[in-house]
Structure 1
């Protein structure tokens, strides 16, 4: 084992370079080639979504969501503050206003009980974020949206291969988004996907993704030429990215099982520290199947996180914190607003530590991580 234990180590199946070479040999390097189409079909089969479209990042998929909803200046989208900046940026780039609400104590997902009170006449959508690949309470969120005439756009960046009550994350709302960044479970270096579940949005999604043209329809022989139809951009990844991703999608089930085994090992080894009251382990609702995207702990409120991280780093263990809540960031205060108290977001975000977790992480590395954490907490 190396002296240091990295937080993340990208997994390779061994077929990536072969498929990339095949794409090169075929002379098809731009987007929407054979490998892209294979990936689309596999994502649709795995998720059950109506239409999957590869994008060059999850950020691009989130921006497409905002375009598809026709977010305009002053329109509001309700979301958690405890998320990556792309969730909010997609709205802000259209002139919209992110409205931040607090998170749940157990899953760190958006508190569905606070959403309805945040709805105003300017609200257009709800953007649940499935933190750590654990599903938000989608039944409640969809019910609110239906009753109030809102759209639901899932940020499932961390949620590929996770389910809520048997349904794939990203396939429940009107739109969904996946990430295949190298820090995720299934990767393409950079990359993402838009999932379209509303049949009324499928054709527009293709148009927006192709610079606002109906180029996809032209190549299918549905129109005799393609023209500029509406505002769009170039959201396609190149075929080499799709070839890499195809190698990963072929083994998505095995990759997920491998990570879950290591997640469970951490969960078992950390039980004594939870019983001592020094930390809290993740909570997974019974109706959610997660993908072991990350293993985090929440330190007891009276423990200062930074000395713990410093001690782990001295031992060569690269554990890390996570998001700085968006409502407290300069851009969050400038472009968005918090609805109500953000006490749980503020409290939990400063106590969270993510432990190293990746495909193939050796048992010895996990044992050393837990032993070092034990020592740091008992100091």
Structure 2
């Protein structure tokens, strides 16, 4: 049996909507389906303003510009994340301050965040790892006390909640991903949530997204011509991608239920190994409702993780590790970081193994993965 790591889910309406998009005669950004997706996300997330972007990376770049980050500023984020969390900070000339992660949730350690705040700290970029929420009340209290902005990297967390509030809508900004490995996809794509009720904040985001021009106001008939008014870039995705995504979002409940079933089957099937102290399974705090983006296991050692990964591959199962901690990467070393500074992050980076996880995964495939893991680890 072959069990790939990921297969993008399709609902059956993607091509229908793409064809309709083509027939409208407008396939560039901010067409019919871009507007439908923006509105759908705003209504279902109870968000102030959502703008579709070309990627979550670009949404994070927009947030960094919106925050006015500049040389001399410091921004705290976890080292256990994708490079897209850190790059937007560096692109603005600001300094990345890497924080440790919590060993239970793998999210940013708020005690370490507080230790690393200085008078130069301008923002915190928390990451909701695997769709599991950070403790947002505590994080926002820290931010408010120190007059610091918050941008939630919710790339993996669309429709996850913290105390019944959707992730990405709690901080000053939230950023989402629709990459093919995420729950809801369009190949490449993202979105930014502007959570301030200030109309000027929304207007500024539209200008940044439209190459620094006020073209969005022009299209709404608010100005008779548009012009270059600020810095920005081309962050609009094709309306054809939005058409694909709209079909995905329409099926969000079905996709959620399928992923929840897979997650729970993994958990129940592998709990015996956790009870024996051989592996550790994911932890979802009571304050969080997960979107079941990922199922991972934490092994006893890097040696055990690599042994398991190699032997699962031999059985036709693609299980993969995740982030190499950013502070130990070449760029992190150039910034002055070195191995040993964030021991929990480094331990997780060496022992975490992600199992195949997608909406079309069958019970038979999940059971095949479980039985192979048990056979390998119970020897």
Question: 1:353: Cα distance to partner?
Answer: 0.5
List per-residue Cα deviations over 1:178-198 (Å, max 9, x = no partner): 000000000001000011001
Does the aligned pair in 1 maintain the 2:278–2:300 contact within 8 Å? yes
Q: State the match for 1:147 in structure 2.
A: 145
Flag the 1:261–1:116 CA change in 2: closer, same or farther, 3 A: same
Does the aligned pair in 2 maintain the 1:98–1:337 contact within 8 Å? no
Q: Does 1:342 align with 2:339?
A: no
| Unmatched tracts of structure 1, length 5 or more | none
Does the aligned pair in 2 maintain the 1:99–1:338 contact within 8 Å? no
Q: How does 1:86-235 map to 2 (within 5 A)?
A: 86-200=84-198, 201-235=201-235
Deviates more, 1:78-87 or 1:91-100: 91-100
Question: 1:333: Cα distance to partner?
Answer: 2.2
SS of the equivalent of 1:199 reads coil
Question: What is the TM-score with the length of structure 1 in the denominator?
Answer: 0.97
Does the aligned pair in 1 maintain the 2:328–2:339 contact within 8 Å? no
Does the aligned pair in 2 maintain the 1:97–1:337 contact within 8 Å? no
Does the aligned pair in 2 maintain the 1:101–1:340 contact within 8 Å? no
List per-residue Cα deviations over 1:223-252 (Å, max 9, x = no partner): 222111110001000110000000001111
Question: 1:330: Cα distance to partner?
Answer: 0.6
Q: State the match for 1:297 in structure 2.
A: 297
Query: Aligned partners of 1:33, 1:122: CA distance in 2, in Å?
Result: 41
Does the aligned pair in 1 maintain the 2:301–2:351 contact within 8 Å? yes
Query: Aligned partners of 1:23, 1:265: CA distance in 2, in Å?
Result: 39
Query: Aligned partners of 1:235, 1:336: CA distance in 2, in Å?
Result: 32
Query: Aligned partners of 1:227, 1:213: CA distance in 2, in Å?
Result: 5
Does the aligned pair in 2 maintain the 1:161–1:256 contact within 8 Å? no
Question: 1:161: Cα distance to partner?
Answer: 1.0
List per-residue Cα deviations over 1:33-66 (Å, max 9, x = no partner): 0100000001111212210000011111011011
Deviates more, 1:220-229 or 1:322-331: 220-229
Flag the 1:302–1:217 CA change in 2: closer, same or farther, 3 A: closer
Q: Does 1:282 align with 2:297?
A: no
Question: What is the TM-score with the length of structure 2 in the denominator?
Answer: 0.97
- 1:12 corresponds, among 10, 25, 29, to 10
Question: 1:94: Cα distance to partner?
Answer: 1.1
Q: How does 1:79-90 map to 2 (within 5 A)?
A: 79-90=77-88
Question: 1:368: Cα distance to partner?
Answer: 0.8
